[in-house]
Amino acid sequence: MSISLSLPTERSAAVRGRILQLDGLRAVAILAVLLNHTLHLPLTWAGVDIFFVLSGFLITGILLARKQSGGDYFSYFYRRRTFRILPSYILTLLIFGLIFGWSTFHPWPYFVFFGMNIQPLFFHNGTPLPLWSLAVEEQFYLVWPIVILLVSERVLLWLAIAAVVCTPLLRVLCTPLFSDHLFIYMLTPFRADLLCAGAILAILWKNRSSRLEHLCRTRAWMGVVAGFGLLALSQLWQGCRLESNSRTANGLVYSLSLIGSVSLLAWALADRSWLTRFLSSRPMRYIGEISYTLYLVHIIVIFLAERYIHSPALLFVLVTAGSIVWASVSWFLLERPLIRFAARGGHHKLPQPAA
């Protein structure tokens, strides 16, 4: 049984039943990241949080569907992850190393075994590439599939709720251990609440009632306004800014971003009006579809463009355009063929949302 999602769908590169709105939501997330790294707009770092929530939702739904189907489980999941993640990742590392040198990829085992978010704890030459978030997701995916397989759906829901409740407390307790806020920002135990919040929504949406769907359609926007609005308001106090590395900032700020991100996903899932039309538009869907490589390579494009461009607005336009061209070439020549190859032998048995 697949997740029941009564939403507009079409064939994707790998599976039937792709949820159009979620590609558009990916586009929102990656555009926020681009704004953050070019124009340095406050709070646009929350684009990564949207990615985390979305990943938790999709991966949990896919794994629950595989478990219920009785088909191959680990091989199916990790085959898809390998073909989706590794080709573009390896190519990005090679290109960055050839252009800027290999010193930031030391020691190399951290980059082979997805420990890029841990490496800065022990070495000062961390890579400028945004690989820490990929490491967070891959580390989470080592544990979460096992948990889903071993426990019931009800227990899984309570475990995810417990993670969402306990993670902010863990951030508060561990704040004195780190001299820089980036460690709380990058380490998996401190960001797992976002992935688990997406998992909670996946479970609830899978078993949703008409009342829950109506609530998401008519009230989720309030969570978006409350979460991101309070997040913006909190920045009026220095102690609530992440760079302060205070207990207040680490305990509160990420949770406000979580509320906004989860509410945005719930709204996108249930909406039938302008939000659906916007997120499902072809440009937004396309940017979302290529967002993985777009995210990996945009820092390289920024480094190259900054040598000649000094206007932040022009830098944003050129970096966005250049990254889209790069990601498009990668998508059509490398990623999409490999995704299709990985999907053979599995997707025809069980329609699922694309991850």
pLDDT (tens digit per residue) in 229-271: 999 999 999 999 999 999 999 999 999 999 999 999 999 999 9
Whether 294 is covered by a domain: the verdict is yes
- Measured from the Cβ of residue 331, the count of other Cβ atoms closer than 10 Å reads 22
Residue 47 has pLDDT above 70, yes or no: yes
Establish if 204 belongs to a structural domain: yes
> Do the domain assignments include residue 4?
no
Q: Assign 8 a pLDDT band (cuts: 50, 70, 90).
A: very low
Per-residue pLDDT for 150 more than 50? yes
Average pLDDT over residues 126-145: 95
pLDDT given at position 275: 96
Question: How many Cα atoms occupy the beta-carbon half-sphere of 165 within 13 Å?
Answer: 6
pLDDT of residue 345: 54
Q: Confidence class of residue 225 from pLDDT cuts 50, 70 and 90?
A: very high
Output the pTM of the full model: 0.92
Number of domains in the chain: 1
Q: Is residue 2 part of a domain?
A: no
Enumerate the β-bridge partners of residue 10.
18
- Residue 353 covered by a domain: no
Give the orientation angle of helix 74-100 with respect to helix 132-150, to 10 degrees: 170
Give the integer Cα–Cα distance in Å for 240 and 189: 21
CA distances from 2 to 11, 63, 116, 179, 231 (A): 16, 10, 34, 45, 35
Is residue 179 left, alpha or beta, with left meaning phi > 0 and alpha meaning psi from -120 to 50? alpha
- What's the domain range around 212? 9-343
Binning pLDDT at 50, 70 and 90, where does residue 17 land? Answer: low
Asked whether residue 348 is assigned to any structural domain, the reply reads no
- Is the residue at 3 inside a domain? no
324 burial via Cβ count (<10 Å: 0-12, 13-18, 19+): buried
pLDDT in tens, 98-109: 999 999 999 999
pLDDT of res. 93: 97
- Asked whether residue 197 is domain-assigned, the answer is yes
